[in-house]
Amino acid sequence: MHALTPAAERLTARLTQPPPALGVFLPAGFPAPGLDVETLRLLADAGADILEIGLPTPHAPLDGPTIREANRQSLAHGTRTEHVLATVRRTAETTDAIVLVMTYWEPVRVYGPQFAHDLAAAGAAGALIPDLPPPAVAAWTAAVRAAGLHNLQFVPRNGTDQELSTQTATASGWLYAPAATEPTGYQGQLDIPALRAFTGRLRQHSDVPVVTGVGVSTPELASLVSPFVSAVVVGSPIVRCLLHHPGAAGRLAAADATAIFADSVRHPATAAEIGEGSHHGSPPR
């Protein structure tokens, strides 16, 4: 293991001790410049252990309409990578939550090789780049390790054992096992046994903590998936509050939703409640 920054060490400590953590995703610059930090503080106060700050981009292949709309509004405000780093810094300085960044590769490529260093200087614990192209893996991994950050990995469920071995080999901090194979914002049923089996496969390849998100659309689902992961990450349910309720009402609704999710994650469902071989959630819509 490479030497880690204090922020990265905090992430390791939190994910390796019970109860499961709650992570909340919010794009930087949303709902408006400056209000992103205020909102993130409210979410931390409401129970978010981890704040995953998104770097907005118009090309977001894994995201559904809710996150794409939040990205669109953020970009319309003029949010750029420099503003995201400033949001990370202010959030890390003014909350007790662990701060991460989720971004697609193109903004990182455009920013240049300094990105990992600047991210560490801003106080982030690591970065998640779900579409990192294979030719860039070695250089990015070296940059992250030199900066003392965690190299967070998004691991699609349809990977072969060889692909999982390759993806987990460079991971640190967490392995992100999506709960659904749909884009973010999915509100349909989850195959809980399939997700549990996939987290088991990942643990055969790596001892890096496993977290889940994507499709964890309700507190009930958060309670059902939390027994076999180290953290549950939610994004669209919180962003949806801000889209549907402009102004202070939206921020308070997002904080209330975060508090309910946090309580659900920290009180996992029992094996009987999970139900072997069952699906859970609302019908797809």
Could you please report the per-residue DSSP string of 179-213?
SSSSPTT--S-EEHHHHHHHHHHHHHH--SPEEEE
Give the catalytic positions in this structure.
52, 63
Q: What are the backbone angles phi and psi of residue 244, rounded to the nearest 5°?
A: -85, -20
Structure tokens at 268: 């996992």
Architecture of the domain defined by 6-272 = Alpha-Beta Barrel (3.20)
Average confidence (pLDDT) over 183-205:
95
Asked whether residue 270 carries a pLDDT value surpassing 70, the answer given is: yes
Asked whether residue 260 carries a pLDDT value surpassing 60, the answer given is: yes
Q: Report pLDDT for 2.
A: 73
- Of the pLDDT bands very low, low, confident and very high (cuts 50, 70, 90), residue 277 is very low
30-48 pLDDT, tens digit each = 999 999 999 999 999 999 9
pTM of the full structure: 0.94
Q: Report pLDDT for 280.
A: 61
Beta strand segments in 227-273, E? 231-234
CA distances from 200 to 174, 204, 205, 267 (A): 14, 7, 9, 21
- Of the pLDDT bands very low, low, confident and very high (cuts 50, 70, 90), residue 164 is very high
Nearest Cα to Cα of residue 92 among 5, 4, 2, 212: 5
Range name among 50-64, 73-87, 103-117, 154-168 with the lowest pLDDT average: 154-168
CA distances from 246 to 80, 234, 241 (A): 23, 20, 8
